[in-house]
Each structure stands twice: as C-alpha cells, then as structure tokens.
Amino acid sequence: MSLPLALEISFAVVLLANAVWIVIAREVVAAVIIFVAYGLLLAIVWVRLAAPDVALTEAAIGGGVTGVLLLGAAARLRATEATAKPASVSTRLVAAAICVTTSCALAYVVGSLPDAAPTLAPAAMASLPETGLGNPVAGVLFVYRALDTLLEKAVLLLALVGVWSLAPDRLWGGTPELCAFPRRSSTLLLLAQLLPPVGILAGVYMFWVGAKLPGGAFQGGTILAAMWLLVVMTGLEDIPPTSRRWMRLLAIVGPAIFVVIGFAGFALANAFLAYPAGYAKPLIIVIEGTLTLSIAITLGLLAAGPPVRAQHQ
C-alpha cells in the first residue's frame, strides 16, 4: 500500500467517523459543530479528487454559511430538545436495513462503472479558447450551461422570498436578527476590524481569478457574505431592514443583468444566452461581477432569517 493511498484511507475513515458522530451526538449544537468540521474535511477530499472549485464552494457554503445558519436555528430551538422522543427499536431496525441496502446498491454501482469512462472533458476544452476563459468549470457554468446558473440564482431569490414570507404580517419589511454574541467583546471587535478588509480583498480576488484559475462568482460572493455576517455578529452593525430599496436592488441586480444579456443574445447571436463572437469574455465578467454582489447579499440574508422586529422600531 503506497503512502498516498494510506492518506486517502485515513481521510475516508475520519470522514465516516465524523458522519456517524453527527448522527449519534447528544446535543444539536455539538452535532452542528461537528458538521462544520465535516464540511472542511470534505473540502480536502474534493481537492484529492482534483476538483478545487468544488472544494472552495464546499468549504465556504457547505461548511461556513450552513454552519452559521444551523447554529442560529439550534440556539433558537434549544428549548425543544428535552421533549423529543427517540425512535422505537423496530423503526431503527427497518431504517438500518433500508440504509444498508441502499449503501450496498450504490457501492455495487461504483464498483461496476465501465473502465472506459465517458467524459465531456475533451468537448469542454475544445470550445474553451473561443470564450476567452481559462477555467473549464467557469466555462461550463457561464457558457455551456449558463441557463442552469441563471435558474440557480432564481432559486436563491425564491428561497429568500420564502424565508421573508415566514414572518408574521405585521413584521413584513422589518429587521432580521442574527443571533449575536451576547455582549461587546473587545477580542471579537478586533477581529471584525482586522478581518473584513482582508476578506473583501480575498472575495473580489477569488471572483476575478475564477476566469482562469479555480475560483468564481459563488466562492467570492460567499466570502463577502461571511465578512458581512461577521460584522453583524459582533454587534457593530445591524442588518438593514428588508424593506430597504438598495438592498433589494443589489440582490436582484445579478440575475437581472443575466436575464438582460440572455435576451440580448436573441438580437446579437440568434439564441437565448448566446454571446456574440469576441464579446464573450467581457459579458461573462459583467455577469459574474454582478452575480458576486447578488450572491453575497442573498446568502447573508438567507443566513439571517425572517424579520423579527418591525421596521419602525
């Protein structure tokens, strides 16, 4: 057994141990913290699978922002832990049987994949020079399957509207509240003053470099959202009320420009979301830039939750 393989085996073992620990942990807060660690470990596994873009997204969204969201929910739902009844033994046995069957079926499928694996990599790389991009994943996201990315952004906006609509009617347009640290701490204040400039730089850099190297709009936007959430959690700033026009405009500017460029493709290049020759890269940069801003605002607002204070308090 070679050394790299031993390393992969240890990764897989720790990953599975973390997953089991999440399911059997006693308290929900402990389970969420282990889930964040699990997300970071999964990011390393993605790097071992030669997928750095996915690793960045998993570390940022899967580990980071989901952790903030679930910790806030766990803190608010802390009172319900005592009243939960564990499932009966028969349910557990049936569930275990179903899960073992599913896992074995999937493992059999993994083991019987054909040796000459079908792949779209040559086709993706063949058309990449025309678009002016150097990162094939960015090419897939914004050129070949740009419609999927547009619809994904629409799903994010729909989820945001859904979360906002869960507030009682009198609170519509009010202020959400992130579970802030209970009192002013000078250490956290120092972190919130030192880290956001670096974080904003890192986020913008990650969006800009995503055209050639691993990175992109989603990863950069998530870092910007994380910096915003850090400042809010310190208590330095409140989240603006959801009725603020500039915030709503920033959230929709990304998909709006995407749709406009899409429809302009009818006039300029004969198809929805088709880019005219030679203008592909500037258009993609415009789409990605506005999308980064929108993603930052949308992810931050999704993590903050529905409004809890009326807007004129």
Partner 1 sequence: MNATALFGFCAAALVGIGLYGLITDPQPLRKLLAFNLLGSGVFLLFGVVARRGAAAGLGGDPVPHALVITGIVVAFAATAMAAALLVRLFEETGHATLDSDAAQDGNTVTDGESS
Partner 2 sequence: MKLALQILTVLAVSGGCFLFLAGTIGLLRFPDTTTRLHALTKVDNLGLGLIVLGLLPTAGSPLLALKMIAIWLLVQLSGATVSQLIAQLVHEQEPRA
Interface residues with partner 2 (CB under 8 A)? Answer: 181, 185, 187-188, 190-191, 194-195, 198
Short-list 252, 254, 253, 275, CA closest to 263: 275
Asked if residue 278 binds partner 1 (CB under 8 A), the reply is: no
Site map for partner 1, 282-311, x if CB under 8 A?
Answer: -----------------x--xx-xx-----
Taking the complex as a whole, how short is the minimal distance between the CB of residue 190 and partner 1, in angstroms? Answer: 29
Q: Taking CB under 8 A as the rule, which mask of x and - marks residues 49-68 in contact with partner 1? A: xxx-xx--xx--xx--xx--
Please pick, from the candidates 46, 207, 228, 258, the single residue that binds partner 1 as defined by CB under 8 A.
46
Q: Is 172 in the site for partner 1 (CB under 8 A)?
A: no
Encoding tokens for residue 164?
């906002």
C-alpha–C-alpha distance, residues 6 and 1, integer Å: 7
Nearest alpha-carbon partner for 137 in 202, 54, 195: 54
Give me the amino acid identity at 115: D
Contact flag: residue 3 with partner 1 (CB under 8 A): no
Shortest distance, position 193 Cβ to partner 1, whole Å: 28
Give the nearest distance from C-beta 93 to partner 1 in angstroms: 10
Neighbours of 10 (CB within 10 A): 10
Q: Which is nearer to partner 2, 143 or 226 (CB)?
A: 226
Nearest approach in angstroms of CB 187 to partner 1 is 28
- The widest CA-to-CA distance across the chain, in whole angstroms, is 66
Q: How many other CB atoms sit within 10 Å of the CB of residue 140?
A: 18
95 binds, among partner 2, partner 1, none (CB under 5 to 8 A by kind): partner 1
Burial of 270 (0-12, 13-18, 19+ CB in 10 A): exposed
| Residue 269 near residue 236 (C-beta atoms within 8 A) | no
Decide which of partner 1, partner 2, none touches 154; Cβ closer than 5 to 8 Å per partner kind: none
We find the least distance from the C-beta atom of residue 290 to partner 1, in angstroms, to be 16
Of the candidates 169, 230, 168, the one whose C-alpha atom is nearest the C-alpha of residue 198 is: 230
CA dist 296 and 202 (Å) reads: 13
For residue 34, what is the DSSP state? H
**198 contact choice in partner 2, partner 1, none (CB below 5 to 8 Å, kind-dependent):** partner 2
Question: Per CB under 8 A, does 120 bind partner 1?
Answer: yes
Q: Which is nearer to partner 2, 80 or 187 (CB)?
A: 187
Residue 307 sits at φ, ψ, to 5 deg, of -65, 140
Does position 275 bind partner 1 by CB under 8 A? no
Nearer to partner 1, 20 or 198 (CB): 20
